[in-house]
Amino acid sequence: MKKIRMVIGITLLLLVGACSIVPSAESEFYMLSSSPLPHRSLDLSSELVVVGPITMADYLKRASIVTPVSGHKYEVSKLDQWAGNLENEFQMALLKNLSALDEQRAYVRYPSFLATQSKYNLRVDVLRFDAALKGEVRLEASWAWIDKKKQLHAGGNFSKTLQAGSDIETVVTAQSELLQQFSQQVLNAL
In whole angstroms, what is the distance from residue 138 CA to residue 38 CA? 28
Q: Which span out of 38-42, 67-71, 101-105, 178-182 was modeled with the highest average pLDDT?
A: 178-182
What residues have CB less than 8 Å from 137, skipping those under 6 apart? 130, 131, 161, 162, 163, 164, 171, 174, 175, 178
- Into how many domains does the chain fold? 1
Chain centroid to Cα 176, Å, comes to: 8
For 120, the domain range is 2-189
Rounded Cα distance, 51 and 30, in Å: 22
Q: CATH number for the domain including 67?
A: 3.40.50.10610
Q: Which residues contact 141 (CB under 8 A, 6 or more apart)?
A: 124, 125, 126, 127, 129, 157, 158, 159, 182
pLDDT of residue 9: 63
pLDDT interval class at 138 (50, 70, 90): very high
pLDDT tens string 81-123: 999 999 999 999 999 999 999 988 989 999 876 666 788 999 9
Residue 102: name the closest of 143, 48, 178 by CA.
48
Could you read off the pLDDT of 24-51 as tens digits, one per residue?
Answer: 678 889 999 998 888 877 666 788 899 9
Residue 55 backbone phi and psi in degrees, to 5: -120, 140
CA distance 62 to 84: 10
| Cβ-based neighbour number of residue 187 at 10 Å | 16
